[in-house]
Amino acid sequence: MSLLRVENLVTKYGGIPAIKGISFEVREGEIVALIGANGAGKSTTLMTISGALKPSSGKIIFDGKEIQGMPSHEIANLGIMQCPEGRRLFSSMTVEENLLLGYYSRRREGKPGEAMQRVFKLFPRLEERLHQAAGTLSGGERQMLAIGRALMAKPRLLMLDEPSLGLAPKLVETVLDTIKQIRDEGVTILLVEQNARAALSMADRAYALEVGNITLEGTGQELLHDERVIKAYLGGR
């Protein structure tokens, strides 16, 4: 069953289309990857879904409801959370304060303690750094905090924009393993990742974007072994 369906979506920057009528779906319980070079339209796609950008035309359907053009806070309240490229943490605030902002970004009843414990189970290091300013964390810890902050809102769909960017190879592996664990706990994931090999290895299905158009789609394994993908994104054989 489709949790998210995008139909003929067009988003423009200054009158110029950045995404040009793309269509794709994310089924409940999947990891779906969007791969492509810089400027392909991957981040624009996520920002349009989350409401940060307004589409020029097309439909975005989440759990049967059209959401294109809705304010971003209303989209968040439906259960869509985006973890943006570059982390975008509040550097002078503590780890705990950043996490609490994630919790209160979506209206709900109850206390944040349960959500915070769930984050600490995934990222024990954040509990150790709880009262430390976010700006003093390492790159890997900042990425953990950015993902943790999004998870505090208990999303149904978590959109991750370049989660491995700028991380050491060992940390990349840790972060990607955690993403799989998050999916296994019931959160559907839409992943934008320039590390195409890693993204396709973990994705149930994937789409390749080129200058605002979807040029290939299939299972993660199909695209991982597709000669066109190997040549364009995986550095040849």
- CATH number where 174 lies: 3.40.50.300
**Cα–Cα–Cα angle for 77, 80, 83, rounded to 5 degrees:** 120
Q: What angle do CA 108, 142, 53 make, to 5 degrees?
A: 60
Residues in the chain: 237
In a domain, 163, yes or no: yes
Task: Determine the pLDDT at residue 169.
Answer: 83
For 2, the token pair is 């489709």
Q: Is 119 domain-assigned? A: no
Burial of 50 (0-12, 13-18, 19+ CB in 10 A): buried
What's the pLDDT at 110?
61
Answer whether residue 138 is part of any domain: no
Q: The whole model's pTM is what?
A: 0.91
Q: What is the pLDDT of residue 140?
A: 85
Position 137 in a domain:
no
Whether 112 is in a domain gets the answer no
List pLDDT tens digits, range 2-61: 999 999 999 998 888 999 999 999 999 999 999 998 889 999 999 999 999 999 999 999
pLDDT score for 182 = 94
Domain-located, residue 174:
yes
Residue 148 falls inside a structural domain: no
Taking the C-alpha atoms of residue 151 and residue 61, their distance in angstroms, rounded to an integer, is 22
**Could you identify the residue written with the tokens 């990349």?**
172
- The total of structural domains in the chain comes to 1
Helix 113-122 crosses helix 95-104 at what angle (to 10 degrees)?
120
Domain limits for position 59: 2-90+155-233
The answer to the question of residue 143 being in a domain is: no
SS (H, E, C) 184-236: HCCCEEEEECCCHHHHHHHCCEEEEEECCEEEEEEEHHHHHCCHHHHHHHCCC
Q: Measure the CA–CA gap between 143 and 194, rounded to whole angstroms.
A: 16
Low-confidence ranges of the chain (pLDDT < 50): none
Sheet arrangement for strand 2-13: 16-27, 2-13, 57-62, 65-66
Query: What pLDDT is stored for residue 90 in this prediction?
Result: 86
